[in-house]
Amino acid sequence: MSTEDKLRAVREWMVLEGLDALVVPTDDPHGSEYLAEHWQSRKWLTGFTGSAGTAVVTMDEALLWTDSRYWLQAEEQLAGTEFRLMKDGQDADIQDWLSSHCTNVRWSYNAPFDRLWTDRPPLPCTKAWTMDDGTAGQPAREKLQRLVGYLSENGLPGIYISDLAEVAWVLNIRGGDIAYNPFVISFLYVSADGNHVMYVNEEQVSDIKGYLCGLGISIAPYDEELARHNTETPIALWKSMKNAVEQDGFRQAHVRDGVAMVRFLARLQQAVNDGEKVTELWVDRELTSLRAEQEGFLSLSFETIAGFAAHGAIVHYEATEETDAEIVKDGLLLLDSGAHYDCGTTDITRTIAVGEPTEEERRVYTLVLKGHLQLQAMHFPEGTTGLQLDTAARAPMWREGYDFGHGAGHGVGHVLGVHEGPVQIRKNCRVDTVLPILAGQVMTDEPGIYVPGKFGVRIENCLLSVAAGENEFGSFLKFEPLTLCPYDKALIVVDMLTDDERQWLNDYHARVFETLSPLLGVEAERLWLEQATAPI
């Protein structure tokens, strides 16, 4: 069906239902960020493939709201259709628009798509598997006991858990139902009396039934829970605070990932110098292959973003066969990627000069690098929020008249979702939704500048918040960089760095070389790393 045919069918259904507007969010029964194909109704209706957006259909208009990460992508993908882009934070607020234009409104990611989406994919059905205590750091039985204690303290008979990452964390199970997210589509009811229920396709847990039974969990059909509302739980905060085993797992994962990244960057430079045909999809394939060779590799943690030249200015660009740009001298390659290993999860962005960079590219890169380094170097008192720290990442570029629309950082799950709440480092959020950063949380540091039609720069490391000592003013925290990969020195205007920034960069590069060089079996890769990490 064409977009026009889909809109016609939706409007015919709206007439039967007496609706002025149908609102189709990017959502599923679990409030997930990444959706199984079965729940991607907004994508099916609009043709827009970004991971965030809300469609509105009235009898005479079709609109799509999305945030600044996707404005360029949405304009391209909606071109030639009736859908009109509405820019979050710039155009009318969706709720205000609905209030002024419509009376009878229904929000739904499901109805009427069961009938209209004739080739709708079924729900996935992958096998669940368990994480051993040596990897998880805490047995599932103890996590359930903690939840039961929480119920007792709050006088609650039970709690329904709908968030897929929370179910996975509590039970120490993983699966493959969601692309790039090791989850099993399910709900979990934890009862104060110890009689817990997991709502799931029974076939998916047939191999771990004994394990679940030992935890006091019975199995019920998944569909029985679909109508329940999501329940707020304390689990998001609990799982964000990584235990010592999880922290060590993150460190191991980033060593493995660093080896793959260094091998790739050396391979990329050689391929370009040798005149091989290198494209954005080639980058994805080569890097994925090198990661897959690493011990304990499970999957990518999100779809690789490899944007060359103007494509780098599209914040969440995804190359396709139609858009696959050849990487030739001269230009910038923005590479945002990550992986799940059996011990931890990674998320890294590096911007790489191919050929000779321009002065504008070097200046913009250095401004982003300065903000990136300033955020990593922060020491801050307990109780500080990401809303406060966000300014550190933006201050250098603000002075030069630049900014970016996305957050400066997000939480990262332990072999869970690469985007994890509740921790966040961002400016565009309500103060009452931002929680203090706590010791043991893993988050990213990823400022960027995007020059439409020309290039984009983003630099990203994963950070672990750790104790930084106490004094008469209280307890302080600092960040331990987990990511191990060189920055591109060809893009750095050294005179723009302070002495402290230069020293931090040299110390970081020395650590990268010391850690990774013994793990590189090819001398050419080791020589590349030695040059890439030499002091500036």
Question: pLDDT tens across 429-440, in order?
Answer: 776 667 899 999
229 secondary structure, DSSP code: P
Could you identify the residue written with the tokens 């973003």? Answer: 305
Angle subtended by helix axes 244-273 and 280-292, to nearest 10: 130
Which tokens hold the place of 62? 């079709």
Residue 229 has pLDDT above 90, yes or no: no
Q: How many CB atoms lie within 10 A of CB 218?
A: 12
How many residues belong to the chain?
536
Give the containing element (helix H, strand E) for 409. strand 409-411
- Quick one: tokens of 507? 């110390």
pLDDT at position 248: 98
Tens-digit pLDDT profile for residues 50-102: 989 999 999 999 999 999 888 988 999 999 999 999 999 899 999 999 999 99
d(Cα 58, Cα 271) in Å, to the nearest integer?
Answer: 51
**CA-to-CA separations, 479 to 211, 218, 234, 394, 436, in angstroms, rounded:** 37, 42, 24, 17, 14
Other beta carbons less than 10 A from residue 22's beta carbon: 22
Q: 124-134: per-residue pLDDT in tens?
A: 999 999 999 99
Q: Tell me the mean pLDDT in the region 376-395.
A: 96
What mean pLDDT do residues 163-190 have?
97
**For the chain, which residues make up each domain, given as ranges?**
3-116, 129-234, 241-532
Q: Does domain 129-234 fall into CATH 3.40.350.10? A: yes
* Fold of the CATH domain 241-532: Creatine Amidinohydrolase (3.90.230)
- Structure confidence at residue 232 (pLDDT): 83
The whole-angstrom separation of Cα 261 and Cα 254 is 10
Residue 365 has pLDDT above 80, yes or no: yes
Res. 460: pLDDT tops 60 = yes
Q: Is pLDDT at 231 greater than 90 in this prediction?
A: no
- CB proximity list for 27: less than 8 A, separation 6 or greater: 35, 39, 109
Does the pLDDT of residue 138 top 90, yes or no? yes
Lowest mean pLDDT among 33-37, 287-291, 460-464: 33-37
Q: What is the mean pLDDT of the chain?
A: 95
Average pLDDT over residues 266-270: 97
**Domain 3-116 part of CATH 3.40.350.10:** yes
Handedness of CA 7, 12, 13, 15 (dihedral sign): positive
| Residue 509 and residue 498 in contact, taking contact as beta carbons nearer than 8 Å | no
Whole-angstrom distance, CA of residue 242 vs CA of residue 333: 33
Check residue 224 and give its pLDDT.
79
- State the DSSP H helix or E strand holding residue 127, giving kind and residue range, or none if neither: none
| Separation CA 81–CA 5 (nearest Å) | 11
Question: Fold match between 129-234 and 241-532?
Answer: no
Q: How far is CA 312 from CA 33, 332, 369, 493, in A?
A: 23, 8, 16, 20
- 226 pLDDT exceeds 70? no
Q: Over range 438-461, report the average pLDDT.
A: 97
- What's the per-residue H, E or C state across 261-288? HHHHHHHHHHHHHCCCCCEHHHHHHHHH
What percentage of the chain exceeds 90 in pLDDT?
93
Span 269-283, average pLDDT: 96
Buried b (16+ CB within 10 A) or exposed e, 111-122: ebbeebbeebee
Predicted local distance difference test score (pLDDT) of residue 68:
86
Q: What is the per-residue pLDDT for 279?
A: 98
SS3 57: strand
Q: Which of residues 69 and 297 earns the better pLDDT score?
A: 297
Tell me whether strands 474-481 and 84-87 are parallel, antiparallel or unpaired. unpaired
Q: Which of 147, 366, 339, 157 is nearest to 261 (CA)?
A: 339
Give the pLDDT band (50/70/90) at residue 36: very high
If you average pLDDT over residues 392-420, what whole number do you get?
A: 97
Cis peptide leading into residue 330 (ω within 30°): yes
**Cα Rg of the chain (Å, integer):** 24
d(CA 31, CA 221): 19
Query: Residue type at 108?
Result: S
Among 192-206, 360-374, 417-431, which is the least confidently predicted range? 417-431
Q: Is 297 helix (H, G, I), strand (E, B) or coil?
A: strand
CA distances from 484 to 382, 439, 503 (A): 26, 21, 17
pLDDT confidence band for 453 (50 / 70 / 90): very high
The CB density around residue 230, as the number of other CB atoms within 10 Å, is 13
Q: What is the pLDDT of residue 318?
A: 87
**Considering the chain, what percentage of its residues have pLDDT values greater than 70?**
98
Residue with tokens 């997991």: 198
Orientation of helix 499-516 relative to helix 359-376, angle to 10°: 80
The whole-angstrom separation of Cα 212 and Cα 206 is: 10
- Report pLDDT digits (tens) over 350-364: 999 999 999 999 999
Token readout for 490 is 């060809």
Measure the CA–CA gap between 429 and 421, rounded to whole angstroms: 13
* Helices and strands (H, E) in the chain, number of each type: 16, 25
Contact 447, 315 (CB under 8 A): no
Angstrom CA distances, 141 to 165, 190, 248, 454, stand at 17, 12, 22, 53
pLDDT of residue 316: 83
Residue 394: its pLDDT value, please? 98
pLDDT of residue 324: 97
What are the DSSP calls for 141-167, one per residue?
A: HHHHHHHHHHHHHTT-SEEEE--HHHH
Q: How confident is the model over 488-530, as pLDDT tens digits?
A: 999 999 999 999 999 999 999 999 999 999 999 899 999 999 9
Instruction: State yes or no: pLDDT of 237 exceeds 90.
Output: yes
Q: Which residues contact 130 (CB under 8 A, 6 or more apart)?
A: 171, 172, 173, 174, 208, 211
